[in-house]
Amino acid sequence: MWAHWSLAAIHLLAFALGLWAVLTRGTALRRLAGGVDAVRNVLVADSVWGMSALVLLVTGGMRAFGGFEKGSDYYLHQPLFHLKMTLLLLILLLELVPMITLIKWRMALGKGLAIDASRAGRLARISHVEALLMMLMVVAATGMARGVSLS
C-alpha cells in the first residue's frame, strides 16, 4: 500500500514539477535577450524539466507495467492510455529540437562562446505546446483511472 501510494505521489509531483519547468523554460526563452543570467534561467528550467521527465517515465512505467497499479492488461486495453501514450510520444518528438539546441548552448557557454538566440522564440513556442500536451495527458489520465471508455 505504501509503495503504491509513494509511487503515485512521486509520479504526480514529478508531473507538477515538469509542467512548471517547461512553462518556466518557455517564458525564459521568450524573455531571452542574450544575457548570461537569462540563458542560465533557461538552462536551469531545462535541467529541471529533463530530470522530472525522467522520473515521470520511470514511475509511469512502473505504475503501468510493474505491478503497482491496475496491471498492464487494463492499460493496454484502455483507449485513453493509448491517447496518453500518443501525447507523450508527441512531447518526446517535439522535445528533440529544444534538447539539441540547448545542448549546443551549454557547449558554447562552456567554451566561453556566445550563443545563437535566434531560435529562442521557436523554442518557447515548442515549450508551450509541450505544456498543453501535458495538460491533455492529465485529462486522458483522469478518465483512464476512472475506467471511462471512448466507445
Q: What is the 3-state secondary structure (H, E, C) of 42-110?
A: HHHHHHHHHHHHHHHHHHHHHHHHCCCCCCHHHHHCCHHHHHHHHHHHHHHHHHHHHHHHHHHHHHHHH
Task: Kindly state whether residue 94 falls inside one of the protein's structural domains.
Answer: yes
Task: Kindly state whether residue 93 falls inside one of the protein's structural domains.
Answer: yes
58-88, pLDDT tens digit by residue?
999 988 888 777 778 888 888 999 999 999 9
Whether the CB-CB separation of 15 and 76 falls below 8 Å is answered with no
Rounded to whole angstroms, what are the CA distances from 108 to 6, 19, 54? 40, 27, 25
Whether the CB-CB separation of 81 and 144 falls below 8 Å is answered with yes
- Say whether pLDDT at 34 is over 60: no
- Say whether pLDDT at 36 is over 70: no
What pLDDT does 52 receive? 96
Task: Kindly state whether residue 150 falls inside one of the protein's structural domains.
Answer: no
Kindly state the average pLDDT of the residues 15-32: 93
Task: Kindly state whether residue 151 falls inside one of the protein's structural domains.
Answer: no
Q: Which domain holds residue 50?
A: 2-145
Task: Kindly state whether residue 120 falls inside one of the protein's structural domains.
Answer: yes
The percentage of residues in the chain with a pLDDT greater than 90, rounded to a whole number, is 65
What is the total count of domains within the chain? 1
**Element (DSSP H or E) covering residue 5:** helix 2-30
Residue with cell 520511470: 58
**Element (DSSP H or E) covering residue 114:** none
Which DSSP category does 34 fall into?
A: S
Task: Kindly state whether residue 12 falls inside one of the protein's structural domains.
Answer: yes
The one-letter code for the residue type at 77 is H
